[in-house]
Chains A and B, each alone.
Chain A
Amino acid sequence: AQSVTQLDSQVPVFEEAPVELRCNYSSSVSVYLFWYVQYPNQGLQLLLKYLSGSTLVKGINGFEAEFNKSQTSFHLRKPSVHISDTAEYFCAVKSGYSTLTFGKGTMLLVSP
């Protein structure tokens, strides 16, 4: 079985500050990891994904994430956030023939 834990339900931050959204996963086999963003009343959009290779993955809108196998983590980072980054962010894991499992989400609140 696989699972995802997003450690923070909300992360408040000021504009132009750095941010890290934390994600830990559990799986007994090799995994593929994803971060999605959801703006209010919209569907999800892929930010980035880790399939294999380099553990540092760069995505859209200046976001990046690092896969850490020993800590079973895939934290999302951005060096300087904008008001427009205010949204809910979901971490997801897939392994083997399983379907995608999502975390409960982290609401990023960017204020001026």
Chain B
Amino acid sequence: DGGITQSPKYLFRKEGQNVTLSCEQNLNHDAMYWYRQDPGQGLRLIYYSQIVNDFQKGDIAEGYSVSREKKESFPLTVTSAQKNPTAFYLCASTAGGRSTDTQYFGPGTRLTVL
């Protein structure tokens, strides 16, 4: 089955540690996205990538970093510079960058920083 996998589902880290969230897709999609979800805030875009080896900042990129070395993978690193990292993180992908393309979402990773 084609889809997006995110691992792990739950992640706990101590304050001050960097942590990397995994996102893999086998849909052969060109574009990938990372969102952060907080209660009552909706989804906010962190970073997105429309092609391998290229990515752009979203609305809340500070304290995060990404890489896109392979088409199917788009890992997100939450750095110690992120002031409030505890949140639910969602990865998504689209076939291309067209406005009409549907975004498909992974199951999410819940990060808790202690």
Residues of A that sit less than 8 Å from B by CB: 9, 32, 34, 36, 41-46, 49, 51, 90, 94-100, 102-105
**Contact call A97/B99, Cβ cutoff below 8 A:** yes
Q: Which among A44, A45, A51, A104 is the interface contact of B100 at CB below 8 angstroms?
A: A51
The A interface is mostly helix, strand or loop, or mixed, namely: loop
Q: A32-B99, A96-B99, A99-B45 are in contact. Are A43 and B40 (CB under 8 A)?
A: no
Chain A residue nearest to B102 in the complex (CB): A46
**Contact call B41/A104, Cβ cutoff below 8 A:** yes
B106 within 8 A of A: yes
**Contact call B41/A42, Cβ cutoff below 8 A:** no
B64 within 8 A of A: no
Q: Which among A34, A98, A102 is the interface contact of B42 at CB below 8 angstroms?
A: A102
**Contact call A45/B105, Cβ cutoff below 8 A:** yes
Chain B residue nearest to A104 in the complex (CB): B42
**Contact call B43/A99, Cβ cutoff below 8 A:** no
**CB proximity of A29 to chain B, nearest CB, Å:** 10
**Contact call A100/B107, Cβ cutoff below 8 A:** no
In the bound complex, how far is the Cα of B105 from the Cα of A90, in angstroms? 13
**Contact call A43/B45, Cβ cutoff below 8 A:** no
Q: Which among B9, B40, B99, B102 is the interface contact of A104 at CB below 8 angstroms?
A: B40
B74 within 8 A of A: no
Q: Determine the chain A residues whose CB is within 8 A of the CB of B108 once the complex forms.
A: 41-43
**Chain A to chain B: the 9 pairs with minimum beta-carbon distance, closest first:** A43-B105, A104-B42, A102-B43, A44-B105, A102-B42, A43-B107, A94-B99, A51-B100, A43-B106
**Contact call A100/B103, Cβ cutoff below 8 A:** yes
Q: Determine the chain B residues whose CB is within 8 A of the CB of A42 once the complex forms.
A: 107-108
